[in-house]
Amino acid sequence: MGVETIEIDVENNPPPHRKIIDMVEDFRHQYNAKYVVVKSSTRYPAEISLSLQDAGFWLIENQISLKLTRENAIKALEEHKEFLDDISYRLADESDMQLIYSEIEKGIFKTDRIALDPNFGVEIANRRYAFWIKDALKNGAHVYLSLYENKPVGFFVSKSTQNKKSNGLLGGNFTNSESYLQGAFNFLAGHKCFLDSNININQTAVSSNNLDVLRLHLMLGQTVTGIKNVLVKHYD
């Protein structure tokens, strides 16, 4: 069962305390939303985050923006060169997509704001990601299967943008490869794919609730470019 949702991203020049609450309520009524998400830079904790928490919003996670350059990707692959001959990737075909969706149905995503929200949970979170991938494919993204010793260990979704940049939209490790090392193999496969393209910078984001993935990102060359507070509220 779906929930009418709106997401508001406050990027610059936050409005005063009362005005931000009124603005959110105006959007909510306009779209008859029952679930509201507000994202704002941690540069504005008092103006937005504290104000919305006073209005009944939950601070449910931080969204950490990351950047990978070709130089850092090359360095990461060089530091793990003993594994590289066994790591590969391929553009997912129809059979691969069925495998990916079946893995998602097992509940591989457990730490995002939807999975941790008592009003939703892991099953709804993973169903949401499956639909998200389908929408991303319709909008020009590509899904890749990661392999170690020719066995699937995970997947990643990427979409090219302007100025030789790409967005890493989503990635996941399969249930038979949830170890920290196999998670690194999935990331390194993504690095190989990145370097095989003409892209200069790959951008992505990770939830502060998933420390293992954040550690892998930083260990394998990603650098932090920004942090946003993510606040949510459910309405009856």
Burial class of residue 111 in the structure, from the number of CB atoms within 10 Å of its CB (0-12 exposed, 13-18 middle, 19+ buried): middle
**Three-state secondary-structure class, residue 171:** strand
Record the tokens describing residue 111, joined without a space: 């730490």
Asked if pLDDT for residue 178 goes beyond 80, the answer is no
218 or 43, which is more confident? Answer: 218
> Based on C-alpha coordinates, what's the Rg of the chain?
19
| For range 98-113, the mean pLDDT | 95
Burial class of residue 57 in the structure, from the number of CB atoms within 10 Å of its CB (0-12 exposed, 13-18 middle, 19+ buried): buried
pLDDT at position 51: 85
Around Cβ 36, how many Cβ atoms within 10 Å? Answer: 22
Distance CA 202, CA 197 (A): 11
| 97 phi, psi to nearest 5 deg | -65, -40
Q: Are 228 and 209 in contact, with CB atoms under 8 Å apart?
A: no
Terminal-to-terminal C-alpha distance of the chain? 15
Record the tokens describing residue 153, joined without a space: 């260990």
11 or 206, which is more confident? Answer: 206
**Three-state secondary-structure class, residue 149:** coil
Asked if pLDDT for residue 1 goes beyond 60, the answer is no
Query: pLDDT tens for residues 120-157?
Result: 999 999 999 999 999 999 999 999 999 999 999 999 99
| For range 90-105, the mean pLDDT | 97
66 or 45, which is more confident? Answer: 66
Angle, CA 1 vertex, CA 63 and CA 230 arms, to 5°: 15
Record the tokens describing residue 66, joined without a space: 């990351």
Q: Are 154 and 172 in contact, with CB atoms under 8 Å apart?
A: yes
Query: pLDDT tens for residues 197-213?
Result: 999 999 999 999 999 99
Record the tokens describing residue 60, joined without a space: 């449910």
Distance CA 11, CA 201 (A): 22
Record the tokens describing residue 43, joined without a space: 């540069």
> Tokens 């939703």 appear where?
120
